[in-house]
Chains A and B, each alone.
Chain A
Amino acid sequence: MNKVLSNKKVLALYITPALFLVLALIYIPIVQTGYYGLMKWNGIGEMDFIGLKNYKVLMKDALFWRSALHSFLLALFSAISLIGYLFISIILAGKIKGADLLRKIYLIPMLLASVAIAQLWMKIYHPSNGMLNTVLMASGIEDPPAWLADANLALYAIIIPIIWQYAGFYILIYYAALKNIPESLVEAARIDGASPWQIALKIKLPLIMNVIKVTIVLAVVGSLKYFDLIYVMTGGGPNGASEVMASYMYQKAFKGFDFGYASAIGFFLLVICLVVTYIIRRFTAANEDIY
């Protein structure tokens, strides 16, 4: 095996297909999207080159900035929720009874299809016979909110299932990282008289810091381009109250038939994600770099 993999020609042969796939499916479409973003195009007829006009409109598009704000709110809540996941993972990795079962329970939402999760939560949020409002009414609240229909609540009502959806994923990552910490280190600390709290904070956390950084990037960038539950549960409504950048792009392309403008949004979204990733890396790259 080593012999084969040290042959440069063979290496090139093996890398080419993957490289070709990545180029064809990711980088070429990105360039194309950038190109379409400079056009006025309804997706059907002729394209008109209009330069940066789409971007100029985009900068002043209040609806877009509103959806961008929602995306960033989602990213913020996702990042905050990581603290909770980390806490749970530390407990799970701490050899408690039934940790294995609990880990599986947390992971199950991740195995469900997004649409199934959306349907499930739509049933929970149903204004008159949903689980949530039934409980609220039974406990004496006469006029519980109509969650997904309320412009002030819809976004938050969707953020909850999104966070719930990914809990298992992050818990699994943290759990695996924590399990990788050599037992001897923990043992040594314990012998020196460290409390479980100190062990977690001063030994385990620093040792998995790199993993934590990666999850922050994953959570934030994943939130910025988030689409599925929003599309199924509210379609961005009522009147844009739960619209995020990706769903706004979809609306413009497939409902408003404005592919040029939607491409500009898509390209801009990519730029935002790159910038945010860079910023997060800058702030977290204190000691040891992994990029």
Chain B
Amino acid sequence: MPKKAHSFLLIAVMILAAALAGCSGNTDTASGENGSKKTIKFMHLWPAGSSKQQNQIVTDIIEQYEAEHEDVKIEVEVLENEQYKNKIKVLSSSNELPDVGFTWAAGYMTPFVKGSLFAELDDVLNDGLKESFVSGTTEAYALDGKSYGLPLELNIAPIYYNKEIFEKYNLDVPQTYSEFENAVKTLTDNGVAPIALGNKDRWTGSLWYMYLADRIGGAEVLNKAIDRSGSFEDPALVSAAEEIQNLVKENAFNKGYNGLSNDEGKAEFLNGNAAMYLMGTWELPNFTTNEEIPQDFRDSVGFFKFPTVDGGKGNIDSWVGGPGVGLFVAENSKVKDESKEFVKFFVEKWGEQSVEKAGVIPATKVDTGKVDLPDLYIDVLNELNKASSLTLFADVQMSASVAETHLNLIQSLFGNEVKPADYAKQHEEALKAEEGN
């Protein structure tokens, strides 16, 4: 009996040891040359479950690429958005980024570039690819004149509205801010929440602030405050904050918006409780092709441009938006040339299919005559061609820590916990502190 117990424990120890060895076993074979085949490690953030169409396109592109390049194998890892961001952070701290992966523009990308983790992609762009991008999109992925990412998506943020509700209360699409305020008043008087907002996520409220800043002070005022050629205590930025609190006072947003996520806020719009919803064009599939949302509702959704403010400097064709995710190539990749070729191939193929198949507007130009799309898409794409300027989302423009301050302040502003002047002052202080570093 003692002998039996002994061997049993010994086996248990060996199993444990084997399990431990398994944890660290296969890190070296994954990247680089694998026999005669070269392996490109590719990480993306569109799981088949939540982003079915995008996932399908990516899979198709990879298959196509592997068929054309028999010596290359592409190894894919998929994670959902937030997990993806966390994993990239962890991988980059040990310098083990995948050969090709997704990044966001400007402020998000900067530390990676400064840490020399991303490869320069100017050679890829200058190889004739640059012309196919919508102007202003690749710039968001450039730092000190060099490009480090190829944008895949382009989004602008219109105000979607429920035509049925507007008709019921005899409202017209507002062209000016005072018309907009009247519409808000009519809706609240009739017990309809005018605007759907989920401000737990905070960037959702930031969109409202950015538009008001743009319409009151012009397209440059916020950009200048952030790049430090201006000040955040600019009167236009303060009065934009005052306007936000006026909207709050008028009950323009659905109840409890500060505790609701964007999805919960969106639900208020989707089930007809709220009349308007300011959001990026990534929502377009929900208002056109998504079969899970009732046809009646999808047919009743229209969009309008953020109205101009009387006496303000803003142009109605100026948009808040910008490129969404983009592709990077890792600087220390063992298969850098192959990876660069792959990202180029990816961007081209993606541009041909994304809008038609997945409803994602690519950062490359779309020929509206050639694609078969719902009217809402055509209208948005046409507006995009007319756009006078594109202001990148504030939290993307800012460095991560300033962005955190900004987002928290947005939540306080909407929650009436901070005065507009202090709101501006605290922004200015955070930006200044960052500059000192």
Contacts and interface: CB of A to CB of B under 8 A. Distances in A.
A216 interface: no
Nearest to B89: A43
B411 A237 contact: yes
A128 interface: yes
Interface string B400-422: 11011000110110010100000
Contact of A126 (B115, B264, B400): B264
A238 B409 CA distance: 10
Contacts of A3: 2
A220 B333 CA distance: 47
Of B1, B117, B404, chain A has the most CB atoms within 10 Å of the CB of B404
Given A1-B5, A3-B2, A256-B401, A127 B13 contact: no
Nearest to B399: A257
A154 B417 CA distance: 14
Interface string B232-263: 00000000000000000000001111111000
A251 B202 CA distance: 14
A259 interface: yes
A127 B9 contact: no
Contacts of A14: 9, 13
B429 to A, nearest CB: 13
Given A43-B93, A126-B256, A238 B411 contact: yes
A71 interface: no
Contacts of B85: 254
Contact of B254 (A128, A234, A237, A238): A128
Nearest to B414: A238
Interface stretch (A142-150, A160-168, A221-229): A142-150
Contacts of A258: 400-401
Interface in B122-157: none
B6 interface: yes
B256 A127 contact: yes
Interface in A230-247: 234-235, 237-240
B13 A149 contact: no
Contact of B400 (A128, A150, A239, A255): A255
A43 B259 contact: no
A138 interface: no
Contacts of B202: 237
A286 to B, nearest CB: 40
Contacts of A238: 199-200, 258-259, 411-412, 415, 417
Given A1-B5, A128-B273, A239-B408, A44 B115 contact: yes
A135 B434 CA distance: 48
A63 B174 CA distance: 41
Nearest to A128: B255
A98 interface: no
A256 B5 CA distance: 53
Interface in A33-51: 42-46
A44 B117 contact: yes
Contacts of B401: 256-258
A128 B93 contact: no
B16 interface: yes
A151 interface: yes
Contacts of B112: 44
A59 B5 CA distance: 55
B258 to A, nearest CB: 4
A254 B9 contact: no
Contact of B417 (A13, A127, A151): A151
A140 interface: no
A150 B415 CA distance: 8
B200 A234 contact: yes
Nearest to B3: A4
A57 B20 CA distance: 39
B260 A127 contact: yes
Nearest to B9: A14
A127 B251 CA distance: 14
Contacts of A1: 1-2, 5
A17 interface: yes
A44 B256 contact: no
15 contacts: A1-B5, A17-B16, A17-B17, A17-B20, A42-B400, A126-B260, A126-B264, A149-B259, A237-B202, A237-B408, A238-B199, A238-B411, A238-B412, A255-B403, A257-B111
Given A4-B2, A4-B6, A43-B92, 8 more contacts: A1-B1, A1-B5, A44-B93, A44-B112, A154-B259, A251-B404, A254-B86, A259-B93
Interface of A: 1-4, 10, 13-14, 17, 21, 42-46, 122, 125-128, 146-151, 154, 234-235, 237-240, 251, 254-259
The 8 closest A-B pairs by CB, nearest first: A127-B256, A149-B259, A146-B256, A148-B259, A45-B115, A149-B258, A257-B400, A44-B115
